[in-house]
Amino acid sequence: MQKNMEKVCVIGLGYVGFPLAVLCSINGYEVYGFDKDEKKLARIEKGENIVEEKYLDELLPKAKINVIRDESQMKDCDIFIIAVPTPVDEKYYPDLSYVISASVTVAKNMKKGSLVIVESTINPGVCEEFVRPAFEKEGFTVGQDVFIAHCPERINPGDPKWNVSNIPRVVGSFDEQGLEKSVKFYESIVGAKIMPMKTIREAEAVKIMENSFRDINIAFVNELAKSFNLMDIDVVNVIRGASTKPFAFMAHWPSCGVGGHCIPVDPYYLIEKAKENDFDHQFLRVARAINNGMPLYSVELLQDELNSLGKSLKGAKIGLLGVSYKANVGDLRESPALKIIELLEKHGAVLNIYDPFIPKLSNANNVEEVLDRSEAIFLATGHDEFLKIPVEKFKEHGIGLIVDGMNCLDKDKLLALGIKYKGIGR
């Protein structure tokens, strides 16, 4: 690999920053990594794959990330990538404090002429209103002393095909030089199209649009699931049917809730920003409300089904399979299962919880233990391990009812065995 002369510093070594740092290193850059989480830094120093992405196992031995704890050690770097969290608070209000603090850190420590790229997901206007001022406050002129760009990250954790090295990117900057430098940088590490955007605001808007698109479409099928359920129509079969149309339809799937750091969070960034212009994003608000309501809807399904068997949720022994927000990953952020646990506990259910990726929230050691101790199952995450459970096993363990929050179990086989099955819209 040809050595790149520029030094890259990644600020925030999480799901986004860590793979990116690895990618820069294997593409010949000297890479520095800064994070406020000491435990994470220590694990990176030991060479651990801290985000558990399989494709990184192969790359990590070839990569070198120079962990830095002292901010002044970034001073020799040429390219800074900000990949810090952009969450919402308990009232769903955007929290930009991490982006602001990371921008201030870079502004206080960088040398003139550096390129600063924000990869965190942000609403249109954040680079102008919060990132740029941090550099101007330190006396830098944007487009001359510092070049600022935004390249929204698009990774999809756990995806076997698409990762940081092959997903096309869009990039925006305040000026021509910033745009040129950032496009050149991404072309040197990503084997896919890098599309320059006319403005930095457009680049910011792209990511919010992508994730809002997902949220709205998921809300639509969640609403269909509730409606079709009342008509005794299996929504999954309907979506499969609609998917045979080769154009103008894209399948989205209903479930017990939407989790992760992106889909249930990013639309709020646009909702709040638009309010400044007296614009109300009704569509986005409705989608958020529908998706936020799915854990409660799913728990009510379980309650109704138990009632129909002459049982109540209070005191019922419920096996909860899966806690993470997504299949085969250990990420708990905004996971619907957390709300489901809260609701079930509030109703007095006795929970037997197992998630192979989240031992700290599991009170059972394996599926077998959950089935042994439970009368009904609530499946909240479609981990491969759960999909492999032979349906007969549920019967053998006396499970009378399954609520399949991910619509991933074999409904027909379970029903044929005399087990009551309820999915989301099926």
CB closer to ligand NAD out of 120 and 165: 120
Answer whether 33's CB lies under 8 Å from 8's CB.
no
Site for ligand NAD in 136-155 (CB under 6 A): 153-155
What are the φ and ψ backbone dihedral angles of 7, each rounded to 5 degrees?
Answer: -105, 135
Shortest CB 214 distance to ligand NAD, Å: 12
Q: Which of 15, 140, 228, 269 binds ligand NAD (CB under 6 A)?
A: 15
- Spatial separation of the C-alpha atoms in residues 213 and 219, rounded to whole Å: 10
Site for ligand NAD in 103-132 (CB under 6 A): 105, 120-121
Shortest CB 379 distance to ligand NAD, Å: 23
- Give the residue from 164, 167, 189 showing the smallest Cα distance to 79: 189
CB closer to ligand NAD out of 12 and 356: 12
Site for ligand NAD in 37-56 (CB under 6 A): 37, 40
Catalytic residue (choose from 77, 127, 256, 262): 262
Shortest CB 400 distance to ligand NAD, Å: 37
Q: 54-72 b/e with 16+ CB inside 10 Å = b? A: ebbeebbeebebbbbeeee
Shortest CB 207 distance to ligand NAD, Å: 7
Which residues have CB under 8 Å from 330's CB, separation 6+?
52, 324, 357, 358
Q: What single string gives the DSSP state of each residue in 88-146?
A: B-TT--B--HHHHHHHHHHHHHPPTTEEEEE-S---TTHIIIIIHHHHHHTTPPBTTTE
Has 256 been annotated as catalytic? no
Q: Which of 14, 33, 267, 405 binds ligand NAD (CB under 6 A)?
A: 14
Shortest CB 232 distance to ligand NAD, Å: 37
Shortest CB 75 distance to ligand NAD, Å: 16
Answer whether 12's CB lies under 8 Å from 49's CB.
no
Shortest CB 82 distance to ligand NAD, Å: 8
- Spatial separation of the C-alpha atoms in residues 196 and 203, rounded to whole Å: 8
35 sits near ligand NAD (criterion: CB under 6 A): yes
86 sits near ligand NAD (criterion: CB under 6 A): yes
What are the φ and ψ backbone dihedral angles of 110, each rounded to 5 degrees?
Answer: -85, 160
CB closer to ligand NAD out of 214 and 395: 214
CB closer to ligand NAD out of 36 and 311: 36
- Give the residue from 178, 173, 167, 181 showing the smallest Cα distance to 202: 173
What the block records as the tokens of 122 is 């942000």
CB closer to ligand NAD out of 12 and 319: 12
Answer whether 252's CB lies under 8 Å from 218's CB.
yes
Binding segment for ligand NAD (CB under 6 A), chosen from 28-36, 137-145, 245-253, 382-390, is 28-36
- Spatial separation of the C-alpha atoms in residues 99 and 86, rounded to whole Å: 7
159 sits near ligand NAD (criterion: CB under 6 A): no
> If you search the block for the tokens 């619509």, which residue do you land on?
407
Q: Which of 8, 9, 10, 11 binds ligand NAD (CB under 6 A)?
A: 11
List of E strands, 209-304: none
Site map (CB under 6 A) of ligand NAD, residues 255-294, x = contact: ------xx--------------------------------
CB closer to ligand NAD out of 44 and 409: 44
Q: Which of 33, 85, 94, 319 binds ligand NAD (CB under 6 A)?
A: 85
Q: Is 274 helix (H, G, I), strand (E, B) or coil?
A: helix
Positions marked catalytic: 262
| Sites of contact with ligand NAD (CB under 6 A) | 11-17, 34-37, 40, 83-86, 98, 101-102, 105, 120-121, 153-155, 157, 261-262
